[in-house]
Amino acid sequence: MNEADIDADTNDRMLLQRMAAGDRVALATLYHSYHGRLCRFLSRLTRRADVIEEVINDCLWIAWQKAGDFRGDSRVSTWIMGIAYRCGLKALRQRGDEPVEDDNIPEDRMPSIHPDEDRELRDWLSKGLDRLTADQRVVVELVYGVGHTLEDVATIMGCPVGTVKARLFHARVKLRNVLPALAGDSITLKEKVP
Amino acid sequence: MTLPMDTSQDCLRAWEAMPWVLQESATPEQSEWLKGHLAHCESCRAEFEQQNRLRLAMSLPTDVRVDAHAGLQHLMNRIDAAEHDASPYRVRAGNWLARGLVAAVLIQAIGIGVLGAKLYSYGEKPVYRTLSQQAAPVGPGAIRVVPDANMTLTDWNAVLHTLHLQVVAGPNDVGAYTVALVNNTANTQQAVQQLRATRGIRLAEPIASTP
């Protein structure tokens, strides 16, 4: 955990303390702080905006109610992402939905300084993510998108570190074989679990 | 399913280290080692570049649009609704508290009333007199007289009869009587003089002249 992560976690802990005292401004600050990463994280499970909003609100509703119970055994972000993961799976179960595949990306994109580059990158990524299972997409998101460690991801997903390592390994192998290589000749080997 | 590189120990080690070096959670030694390995391993270099591109792609904002402000408003409404649902219990609890306090005040008021009525029933006049209170009023021309302790009742009555006096109060704790002329037209001062001259009278003085 680098200094920026430590500062962010300290700030999050202060927000949780204020939330435990009923401070709604702190809740609003935390909400906006996590909204982007939760949206992206949950979009690996479902493409439905209404479900994503519902899961985010379920997640932060629990954070609001349980803020006083947070003991600091993990980073606040790990705690919140774990809640979001469980809420996401629960929401999908209640709807009888399977985690949707990445096959319905809308045409309108988020504004960007380089929209063409972003679109190209998204298309490239979507081809790879299509080949992954939901659990593999979640692991890739948490490691590459959010920047969590293996231990954090294990806490979030409620499984052993070895399981996370295996999911990450298989996901990387699939992505490497599906995505076009940027440079050089790829030498292919049979996949094997580390 | 295939791996992109040779299975040399160094390439496997590089493969393991790539995600953590990219997210800057690897140790400085691990980062330095990978940098050195990439300098001479083209396959791992290509893999690392692709891993970096993957990280960039994963860090892009999602293309699923979710309105944060509207979502937050929904959450606040949900909290309001939950607190509103919980509030009747608080009001009921508050009512019980208020009712208890009112009952306690009423019991105290009733107790004070009963005690006050009981004290009032002991009599309107107190059995004591304070120094600031005025003595019982006496009529004009009254005389305070202290007869000798050895004076007989017959002699005392004879004095009163002779001087046309009657006892209006007394005797008090020190044996003093308050007497007044039977006939108000008579001279009080003269009666005082006669009393003082009478044998067996230790003190005689008009009350009006008392400071």
Rounded to a whole number of angstroms, the distance from the CA of B16 to the nearest CA of chain A is 9
- Among candidate residues B144, B44, B89, B99, the one with its CA nearest the CA of residue A182: B44
- A–B: how many Cβ contacts below 8 A? 159
Distance CA B103, CA B106 (A): 5
| Partner-chain contact A181 B50, CB within 8 Å | yes
Rounded to a whole number of angstroms, the distance from the CA of B75 to the nearest CA of chain A is 6
Going from N- to C-terminal start, the domains of chain A cover: 1-101, 108-193
A182 has pLDDT over 80: no
SS (H, E, C) chain B: CEECCCCCHHHHHHHHHHHHHHCCCCCHHHHHHHHHHHHHCHHHHHHHHHHHHHHHHHCCCCCCCCCHHHHHHHHHHHHHHHHHHHHHHHHHHHHHHHHHHHHHHHHHHHHHHHHHHHHHHCCCCCCCCCCCCCCCCCCCCCEEEEECCCCCHHHHHHHHHHCCEEEEECCCCCCCEEEEECCCCCCHHHHHHHHHHCCCEEEEEEHHHCC
With an 8 Å Cβ cutoff, is A28 touching chain B?
A: yes
CATH topology for the A108-193 domain: Arc Repressor Mutant, subunit A (1.10.10)
A13-23 pLDDT, tens digit each: 999 999 999 99
With an 8 Å Cβ cutoff, is A124 touching chain B?
A: yes
| Partner-chain contact A194 B12, CB within 8 Å | yes
Instruction: Give the chain A residue nearest B53 (alpha carbons).
Output: A121
A60-77 pLDDT, tens digit each: 999 999 999 998 888 999
The pLDDT of residue B135 is 58
B4, B51, B67: residue with CB nearest A188: B4
> pTM for the full model?
0.59
Query: What is the pLDDT averaged over residues B157-166?
Result: 88
CATH architecture of B142-206: 2-Layer Sandwich (3.30)
| Partner-chain contact A181 B16, CB within 8 Å | no
- Could you give the ipTM of this predicted complex? 0.77
Radius of gyration of chain B (CA): 58
Q: What is the mean pLDDT of chain B?
A: 82
| Partner-chain contact B66 A39, CB within 8 Å | yes
The tokens for A88 are: 């996401």
Q: Is A1-101 a CATH 1.10.1740.10 domain?
A: yes
Each as own residue / partner, the long-range contacts of residues A115-118 (CB below 8 Å, 24 or more positions apart, any chain) are: A118/B60
Going from N- to C-terminal start, the domains of chain B cover: 7-57, 142-206
Element (H or E) spanning A139, and its range?
helix A134-140
